[in-house]
Amino acid sequence: MQLWNTLSKEELVEKLKERGTKFVTVSFYQYASIPNPQVFRDHLFQMWSKIGIVGRTYVATEGINAQIGVPADKFHQFKKDLYEISFLDGIRLNLAVDESEAEFPFLKLKIKVRPKILADGLNDETFDVTNKGKHLKAEEFNQLVDDPNTILIDMRNHYETEVGHFKGAITPDVDTFRDSLPIIEDEYLKGNEDKNIVMYCTGGIRCEKASAWYKHRGFKNVHQLEGGIIKYANDCSDKGLENKFIGKNFVFDERRGERISEDIIAVCHQCGTPCDTHTNCVNDACHLLFIQCDACKEKYEGCCSSDCQSVIHLPEEEQKALRKGKVVSNKIFKKGRSEKLIFKQNKLKPIEFGLEKVTLERKSETK
């Protein structure tokens, strides 16, 4: 059996449309010892391919991290198969809050073996990732973050917190998880050893490792939101709890975000209009991730700049020649930090864009 995908994006979309499958977006992770990740990876690929699962999964000697789309009519089969794997038996599955943002959350099945399921930059052999902080259910989380002796920290990256976060949370301006660990310790935790440290992220995987790391570093009162923002939002809805999250939860699939509250706390990176819709620049030599409103999407034809807009109108052969041999991952992972984003680069000059009122309204909403 072939253990990888060979179809183009267009072919994958057409295939999914023909199938007419409705997907359930599922995420889960587990830190565990996997002696031979490649063998485990191949086993998963064969098992999931048979029932039409799509999505992205990372496997390493330290565990598994999965964000996948499961055919709704095969969900029980998927769950049965998964729970037959000893270290995944009974594992919590986070289900999407909002499935309406994209027709297909994922287009193909990708399972990759990596050195770690979450890159952290840590090389301490005495660090035990399973010695994690205390998990908080939604009710416990709401109570603890109201305590003035609590520090609430968002463990996600800047482009995620820009569109949504918990009220009163510290949102470090970082590009990666590995960046966040030393910055948070140096700038926010040192000197606050007696306070309650509460962390949250999208589904829990970053907090799981971070809570264990900070315990390893000597901090005592370390907590994490169980199941992350995804489970919290579902629990608040199911149990009628107060939702303390404002805006959108950024997600790593074709939806790029799920609405948690009606607040829009971000702005278009090109004009400054209130907006929290992420897009990728359609220029194949760029694909920069940024926030774009409908008006700018029409004006720039889905591009991040007039430069990229000019490129997409060139003949395909000329476009290929321009990007030949160029590595663009540095642009992709800037995630909204490009110098091409007009308003983003001039955000300290809102008067030029007539945004005095918008800026004040956004500040009052996030208090």
pLDDT digits (tens, 9 = 90+) for 136-169: 999 999 999 999 999 999 999 999 999 999 999 9
Name every residue whose Cβ is closer than 8 Å to that of residue 288 and which is 6 or more positions away in sequence. 280, 281, 304, 331, 332, 334, 335, 336, 338, 340
Mean pLDDT of the chain: 86
Q: Are residues 222 and 158 in the same domain?
A: yes
89 and 181 assigned to the same domain: no
Q: Residues 273, 361: one domain? A: yes
Domain annotation covers residue 176? yes
Place of tokens 């699962």: 53
7 domain-assigned = no
If you average pLDDT over residues 313-341, what whole number do you get?
76
Q: What is the pLDDT of residues 95-108, one digit of tens each?
A: 988 765 556 678 88
Across residues 313-329, what is the average pLDDT? Answer: 81
Looking at the structure, do residues 98 and 192 belong to the same domain, yes or no? no
Q: pLDDT value at position 146?
A: 96
Q: Confirm whether pTM is higher than 0.75.
A: yes
**What's the pLDDT score for residue 335?**
74
Q: Which of 34-48, 78-92, 331-345 has the lowest mean pLDDT?
A: 331-345
In a domain, 142, yes or no: yes
Confidence band of 352 (pLDDT split at 50, 70, 90) = very low
Does a structural domain hold residue 119? Answer: no
Task: Report if residue 316 sits inside a domain.
Answer: yes
The domain boundary residue, chosen from 65, 81, 113: 113
What is the pLDDT, as a whole number, of residue 57? 96
In a domain, 139, yes or no: yes
Main-chain phi, psi angles of 113, to 5 degrees: -90, 130
The domain that holds 94 is classified in CATH as 3.30.70.100
Give the per-residue pLDDT at 27.
93
The confidence band for 359, taking pLDDT boundaries of 50, 70 and 90, is: very low
Task: Catalogue the active-site residues.
Answer: 201
Same domain, 166 and 224: yes
Number of separate domains in the chain:
3
Predicted pLDDT at 332: 52
Looking at the structure, tell me whether residues 306 and 222 fall in a common domain. no
Same domain for 218 and 152: yes
- Each residue of 108-135: pLDDT tens digit? 899 999 999 998 998 888 898 889 999 9
Same domain, 275 and 357: yes
The reported pLDDT for the residue numbered 170 is 96
Do residues 141 and 233 share a domain?
A: yes
Domain that holds residue 94: 20-113
> Which H or E run contains 289?
strand 289-291
The region of weakest confidence among 12-16, 21-25, 319-323 is 12-16
Residue 221 lies in a domain: yes
Residues 35 and 107 in one domain: yes
Instruction: Answer whether residue 290 is part of any domain.
Output: yes
Q: What is the CATH number of the domain that holds 210?
A: 3.40.250.10
